[in-house]
Structure 1
Amino acid sequence: MDDRTVLISGAGIAGPTLAYWLARHGFRPTVVELATGVRSSGSPVDVRGPAVEVAERMGIAERLREAGTDVTDLWFVDGGGRRTGGLSLSAVPGAAAGARDIEIGRGDLATALHQLASEEAEFIFGDSITGIEQDEHGVDVTFRHAPPRRFGLVIGADGQHSAVRRRVFGPERRFVTHAGLYVATLPLGAPAPRPRTVVAHNTPGRMAAVHPRRGDSLAFFAYRAVPVPDFDHRDTAAHKRLLLDAYEGGGWRIPELLDRVRATEELYFDAVSRVRMDRWSHGRTALLGDAASSVSLFGDGSTLAMAGAYTLAAELAASPEDHASAFRRYERRHRGLVEPKQRGVGRAAAMLVPATRGGIVARDLASRAWSAGAALWKRPGKERATA
């Protein structure tokens, strides 16, 4: 079997990025996606550091910047909407040189990547893998709808609930650990009152926010909870019940946002989890993005997905006849980016979703002091102030 035929499961961020680069390296990628089209759900994500370089090499960086959110500030407010703290991102040393970094709606990023990759690769929407059988020379794959096919390699880029991982490596419970949070997003269908400011309200263990997007805004919820028994990440009715129960009786804009939850058909809801595995490959199958190493909080997953896809494609191109060595090199290189991000999830959660009222007050005070110090640092004459 020709190792240059590659089936990629998942048309989110990692899958199309990998398909594009594999095609550029002379492979013949096919992407299969359960959804009937590019998904628009999910919170805004970040394209940072190595992912910016990948986007620039793909020629889409400026398109992504044009579609970016332009968010500059994060405000924390009390139940009456009065500001209690926050961070002015433009006042952070180096954030303006985050100049190259991009925050963008997940759907906008996925659409841009799909449109570019579809010029180079085959995409099959509305279908899924039902069986994977590997042998020394190739992989036989069966689908829910399409006829069976044989590929040289299979890559699971299908998220933290990866079906490829389950079929090849074992049940989800062996690799996925609940991080103590659930998150939800839904589009509000109207611009945010402050188009460059995320406005967030906390009660102990709960956070709700309105996040601007270009011409629109998004409701974002994050709350602390123990794992839900038999949680089904596709059961939207159950997700709505969980969210409504968690935020019942809340102040600020919570009643309005919960009305939107009841009415929406575009709710994204899932547990924040860590995916940790000893190996990301088995035989002719490898995992990419959240399927291998989820850090599903606060946008870093998309950066890691793009960077990992670029690395995997480069390593396969470097030794197209030796996929096992290519998989090992990809994993060794990419783990260096992933592991610090996984360790940082707890710190990020403590900042955005403090567990106690005292934690909220301390966070707000610290954010005001930090922003004031950052602003002072940026003022002319700072050398005298710090001498």
Structure 2
Amino acid sequence: MDQVRAAATDVVGIRFVDAADRDVARIDTRVDDGVEVMRGDLVALLHEAAGSGVEYLFGDSVTALRQDGGGVDVTFEHGPARRFGLVVGADGMHSAVRRLAFGPESRFLQYKGHYFAFADADAALGEDRWVTMYNLPGRMAGIYRSGNHAQAKAYFIFRSEEPIAYDHRDVERQKRLVGAAFAADASWRTGDLLAGALADPEFYFDALSQVRMDSWSTGRVALVGDAAHCASPASGAGAELALVGAYRLAGELAAAGGDHGSAFRRYRQGHRARVEEKQRIGVNIRLMVPGSSSARRVRDALVRLPLMRVMAAAERRLAPGGSRRPLPDYPAPRTQAR
């Protein structure tokens, strides 16, 4: 935990601004016992914690799964086929493991009417320790600037009533979509943020969607994280759900004495309530991206009210008893899962 806190961001809250970068409102989003870390820092911490006993195969993907009573035969795009006792898909909203084991993603993805993009940004464009948001009708541009990190992050959200047809691996096509959504109005610092984002080789874009599934396992194959239950970036809970779900799955497998079916069932039963809670994103996205100029004026008036600050403070105080309810302790494994 000391390492996690050392890597934490120090962002204070959200700052809504007008075209002249004047404050419309500020909302403190800090949680007394909460820790927020950047994705890259979290990955580095997890990689270090896993140690040298883990085998990593980079630059490859799963193309076929065939399971029987004794295991799962896995075919890879590049490497030789291998056999495993269990397969756990932790490969994101567009999970190949889910598609191969459960069916096409169209059965499980629920589109939420928006698209979003993240990329590197010039830190000078944002206020230190604040998330700055600027709105155009149906669109939002912003910058996330942690005082503990030299690199800031730009983000963009725009509305679309219908899903847009594109390949989620075609980054150049995605950049054109974001550029077209924001190119007509370079007010505030949108033009500078957009230029930096479109030049970033790590540019990320996707639909605002959720993954809804009745079950996260079939036979010897299970899913965790966004592959099982993406709540969308509007929830702010992707890492929490992924880490807690992985902890529960590992713990139930350790406690089940080799009975993976029982472990998968208990994992689902124990984790389902938290997932359903976080998938209720409510008015978050409408507050971030008002659909019209009049809706933006109403939003701006609301966030300036003292009541909004009181509600935000109350939510922070209540959070430890809600989303961070205690997790079970699990015994050491009695036998290795087969």
TM-score normalised by structure 2 residue count: 0.87
Give the superposition deviation at 1:373.
Answer: 5.2
Give the Å deviation of 1:189. 4.8
Task: Map 1:1-387; keep pairs closer than 5 Å.
Answer: 61-89=1-29, 95=30, 98-190=31-123, 193-213=126-146, 214-250=149-185, 251-298=187-234, 299-344=236-281, 346-370=282-306, 374=310
Please report how far the alpha carbon of residue 147 of structure 1 lies from its aligned counterpart in structure 2 after TM superposition. 1.6
Paired letter, 1:177: Q
The 3 A distance-change label for structure 1 pair 305 and 372 is: closer
> What is the deviation of 1:191?
5.2
Q: Which runs of no fewer than 5 residues in structure 2 stay unpaired? A: 315-338
Report the alpha carbon displacement of residue 233 of structure 1 after superposing the two structures with TM.
1.2
TM-score (norm 1): 0.76
Pair 201,327 (structure 1): closer, same or farther in 2 beyond 3 Å: same
CA distance in 2, matches of 1:241, 1:140: 40
Distance 2:161 2:172 in 1: 19
Q: Is the 8 A contact 2:138 2:289 kept in 1?
A: yes
SS of the equivalent of 1:122 reads coil
Q: Distance in 2 between matches of 1:274 and 1:373?
A: 29
Alignment check: 8 A CA contact 1:192 1:216 kept: no
Counterparts in 2 of 1:230 and 1:194: CA distance versus 1, 3 Å: closer
**Mapped partners of 1:165, 1:158: distance in 2:** 9
Shift of 1:203: 1.3
CA pair 200-68 structure 1, distance change in 2 beyond 3 A: same
Question: CA offset at residue 359 of structure 1?
Answer: 2.1
CA–CA distance in 1 between the matches of 2:295 and 2:224? 36
- Which letter does structure 2 place at the counterpart of 1:252? W
Secondary structure at the counterpart of residue 123 of structure 1: coil
Instruction: Write the distance in 1 (CA, Å) between the matches of 2:307 and 2:8.
Output: 23
The DSSP-based 3-state class of the residue aligned with 2:279 is helix
Task: Give the number of equivalent residue pairs.
Answer: 309
- Identify if the C-alpha distance between structure 1 residues 120 and 189 changes in structure 2 by more than 3 Å, giving closer, same or farther: farther
Q: 1:235 Cα deviation (Å)?
A: 0.8
SS state at 1:286 partner = strand
Deviating beyond 4 angstroms after TM superposition, the runs of 4 or more aligned structure 1 residues are: none
Q: 1:87, 1:371 within 8 Å by CA — same for their partners in 2?
A: no
Q: What residue identity is the alignment partner of 1:260? A: G
8 Å contact kept, 1:179–1:273: yes
Over aligned residues, Cα RMSD in angstroms?
1.9
Alpha-carbon deviations, 1:25-63, whole Å to 9, x = none?
xxxxxxxxxxxxxxxxxxxxxxxxxxxxxxxxxxxx222
Cα deviation, residue 306, structure 1: 0.3
Provide the rounded CA distance (Å) in 2 between the counterparts of 1:294 and 1:340.
Answer: 12
**1:179-203 deviation per Cα after TM superposition (whole angstroms, max 9, x unaligned):** 1111101112545542111111011
**What CA distance in whole angstroms lies between the structure 2 residues aligned with 1:372 and 1:126?**
47
Q: Give the whole-Å Cα distance in 1 for the aligned partners of 2:251 and 2:60.
A: 28
Cα distance between partner residues in 1 of 2:164 and 2:297: 33
Inter-CA distance 88–343: structure 2 relative to 1 (3 Å threshold): closer
Unaligned runs of 5+ in 1: 1-60, 90-94, 379-387
Identity %: 45
Contact 1:155-1:285 within 8 A present in 2 as well? yes
Comparing 182-191 and 63-72, the one that deviates more: 182-191
- Shift in Å, 1:163: 0.1
1 CA distance for matches of 2:278 and 2:96?
24
Distance change >3 Å, CA 70–CA 319, structure 1 → 2 = same
Aligned-partner Cα distance in 2 for 1:224–1:135: 44
- AA matched with 1:138: G
Q: 1:317 to 1:123 in 2, by over 3 A?
A: same
Specify which structure has the bigger relative contact order, considering alpha-carbon pairs within 8 angstroms and separated by 6 or more residues. Answer: 1
Q: Structure 1's 115 and 308: CA in aligned 2 closer, same or farther, altered over 3 A?
A: same
Q: Distance in 2 between matches of 1:142 and 1:228?
A: 32
Report if aligned partners of 1:192, 1:211 keep a CA contact under 8 Å in 2: no
Equivalent-residue separation in structure 2 for 1:286 and 1:144 (angstroms): 20
Following TM superposition, by how much is the alpha carbon of 1:114 offset from its aligned partner in structure 2, in angstroms?
1.5
Compared CA separation, residues 271 and 280, structure 1 to 2 (3 A): same
